[in-house]
Each structure stands twice: as C-alpha cells, then as structure tokens.
C-alpha cells in the first residue's frame, strides 16, 4: 500500500518563491523537492555549478519549477547577486532555507584559525548575511519564513566537535534572536535540529546508515513549518532517529 502520509500538500505554496542554499544534494535537495511538490518556485544555490545543474535537471524531470544559481554564501557579493537574480527571475523570496554548511571534526588543539574561519563563516556568518539580505523584502510584504538547518550538535558537545558545535550553538542563538526581531512583521524564523543524517556530509564510520535519519525526514520537518496556520509558530524542531545508529 502506498504511504501518503509523507507526501507534501500539492498547491499549498503556489505563487511562492523558495530559496534553498546547499541545495545540490542531500538535505538541501530533499527540501527543494518537498517545497517544489507543494507548488513553490525554487531557486537552488550551491558552489558546484555542475552538481547544481544536475539537481535542477532532476527536479525538472519531475515537473518542478527550479533554477540554479552557483554562489559561495560566505561572500557578500555572491549573496547580493543570489538574492537579486532570484527575485528578478522568480519573484520576491517568501521562504529562505539556510542549509549550506561544512563540517570539521578534530580535537580543538589540532584546529587551525583557517578551519575556524571556514566553518564559522559558512555555518553561521552566511546565515546572518543571507537572512539580512532577504529580511527587508519580507518586512515590506509582512510575511515570510526563514528556516535554518541547525543540528543536535548545537545542543550536545562531543569530542572533536569544537568548531562545528560552536557554529551550530551560535546558529541556534542567532535563530532565536532573529525570531524575536522579525515576528512582529509576520516573519517566522525557525530552526530544524537533526541528529545524524545519512548523507556524505559528515563521517559515518561504524554507523548503520539504515538507522540514521534520511534527508527526507528533515524535508518533512521543513514542510511542517511552512504549512502552519497564520497564528501558529513552530520555532524549533528536534529530530532524532528512533534507534541509535
């Protein structure tokens, strides 16, 4: 029997534009597919233009409206171009999903300043810059969603995770403060905090990937957030696998 419980509600986002970063694979691509099935016009961002084109083609074969814009979200000039091109080609941005991220896992005494800058600039500063870029338009239209893909690493410390955890703890603080700054304008800022997800993002040695969360699980959480009634505000979603991998 076909399971319809996880299928997005078709047409719910007709006329809406969603910008997703880190969208060429994994969680970002799964989120894009989910929002596209709900009717959103998609703007996909990633650094790798080849993989981005493949993702756009993959979504297009499903009949979803998507465009790809190669950009490095750690560069303010790339962010400005990304937002401008998205709004020019697709329309005002109603949904921003900050998913782009990198990981570095090693003891703190082995971490370099260069690694610190790379992780914090990608996982935290880029969210600030991109959210700041789309916020004025959302304020003017009095509505919108900013959804930050965080992590349980923003709540739980572990050996070797100093840089990554610092970025995700900071992201949760940023998300909560942004939510307070923007809620009066009808803008909902939310965080999704998954545990280990079966992607090629982080090392999964000795873990059973079949027991891990899947990218579609995170996409379902994003879908739930954007389907809220106007009076409802899901500020944070925590996702864990039913079994420890």
Catalytic residues: 164
Burial class (CB in 10 A: 0-12, 13-18, 19+), 184: exposed
Q: How many Å apart are CA 15 and CA 23, to the nearest integer?
A: 20
Q: Positive or negative, the Cα torsion across 84, 69, 183, 176? A: negative
Burial label for 36, CB within 10 Å (0-12, 13-18, 19+), is buried
CA distances from 237 to 190, 218, 219 (A): 8, 9, 12
User: Pick from 23, 25, 61: which is nearest to 42 by CA?
Assistant: 23
What tokens does 50 get? 């080849």
């Amino acid at each position: 029997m076909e399971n319809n419980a996880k299928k997005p509600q078709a047409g719910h986002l007709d006329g809406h534009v969603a910008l997703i970063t880190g969208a060429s694979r994994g969680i970002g691509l799964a989120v894009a597919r989910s929002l596209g099935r709900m009717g959103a016009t998609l703007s996909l961002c990633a650094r790798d233009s080849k993989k981005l084109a493949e993702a756009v083609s993959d979504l297009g074969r499903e009949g979803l409206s998507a465009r790809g814009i190669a950009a490095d979200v750690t560069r303010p000039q790339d962010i400005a171009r990304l937002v401008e091109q998205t709004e020019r080609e697709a329309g005002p941005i109603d949904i921003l999903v900050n998913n782009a991220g990198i990981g570095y896992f090693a003891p703190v005494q082995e971490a370099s300043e260069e690694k610190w800058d790379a992780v914090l600039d990608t996982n935290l500063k880029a969210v600030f810059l991109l959210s700041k870029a789309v916020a004025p338009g959302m304020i003017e239209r009095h509505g919108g969603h900013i959804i930050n893909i965080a992590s349980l690493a923003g709540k739980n410390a572990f050996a070797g995770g100093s840089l990554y955890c610092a970025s995700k703890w900071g992201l949760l603080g940023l998300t909560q403060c942004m939510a307070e700054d923007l809620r009066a304008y009808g803008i909902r800022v939310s965080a999704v905090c998954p545990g280990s997800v079966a992607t090629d993002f982080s090392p999964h040695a000795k873990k059973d990937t079949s027991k891990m969360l899947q990218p579609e699980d995170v996409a379902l959480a994003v879908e739930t957030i954007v389907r809220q009634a106007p009076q409802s505000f899901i500020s944070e979603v925590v996702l864990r696998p039913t079994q420890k991998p």
